[in-house]
Amino acid sequence: MEKEIPARLSILGHPQRLAVFRLLMRRYPDRVPAGELAEALDLKASTLSAYLSALGRAGLVVQERAGTSLRYQIAMTEVRRTLDYLLHDCCRGRPELCSPVPLSRATGNPPMSDHKFRVLFICTGNSARSIFAESILRKEAGDRFEAYSAGTRPRSELNPFALDVLRQKGHDISVLRARNIAEFQGEGAPKFDFVFTVCNRAANEACPAWEGQPVSAHWGMPDPVKAEGTDAQKSLAFHQAYGILRNRIAIFAALPIAALDRLSLQKAVDDIGQVATGAEAGARA
């Protein structure tokens, strides 16, 4: 690592290369198409290609071909080796400074088994997917979790197709309203244990760091709002989105959170975002 460290730090010292790296970190373990990266960061394709090549040569990013497009992912093993090396080298003889922070200490809350976990689901509009996630978690495990949702747009409205699905599934929609993430930031805002993005656009945005270092993950999925066709076809897309989120939240709610260290918990919530669910599962949920 003696040779890799200077090269990697030099690569990340460039603001725009760092921006590419940070976006891929937020999207991990997703493999993100180059075109989506360029659009999210407002970069020319040639410029982005140069940045990705530099990150790849440094061992921080890997690529794979999917048909005619290239997709990119953080080389997490190498990133962790880099961070571990720096921490162990800097903190040699003082391990208490560098040991992983227990989740209860990171959030400033009581031990994990002694309080309700606060969970925030984020999307751009807070009109469908994040509203689904909030409602499902509240209904399925409201005794152990406080569920919230918010959007990154300045203003949004609840989607009528989403509300119809929630009514059909027996959810109380009277408690729902479209919120902006600004409501959950600043003095007096609740401190979250978990923050999940459920759409790629929200994950691509550089949101401010959340106080207390909550465990975060990206659970990206198709946007039912973009469905076209008849009302029946659009409704099916919303039912499918609901089914995907219900499956993921069932897995999340079943995690032995109090028994997991932070690294294990992080891997578990990352893996949930990769759960594959067919359209027929969403339609049946």
| pLDDT tens string 129-154 | 999 999 999 999 999 999 999 999 87
All structural domains of the chain: 4-77 (1.10.10.10), 103-284 (3.40.50.2300)
Low-confidence ranges of the chain (pLDDT < 70): 90-114, 206-209, 276-285
Q: Kindly provide the b/e burial profile for residues 51-70, where b requires at least 16 CB atoms within 10 angstroms of the residue's own CB.
A: bbebbeebbbbbeeeeeeeb
| pLDDT for residue 203 | 76
Contacts of 179 (CB under 8 A, 6+ apart): 126, 148, 149, 150, 151
Measured CA to CA, the distance from residue 166 to residue 224 in angstroms comes to: 14
User: pTM for the full model?
Assistant: 0.75
| pLDDT for residue 283 | 40
| pLDDT for residue 30 | 87
| pLDDT for residue 93 | 54
| pLDDT for residue 68 | 85
| pLDDT for residue 4 | 86
| pLDDT for residue 285 | 44
Q: Please report, for residues 76, 109, 163, the alpha-carbon distance to residue 83 in angstroms, rounded to integers and kept in the order given.
A: 10, 27, 44
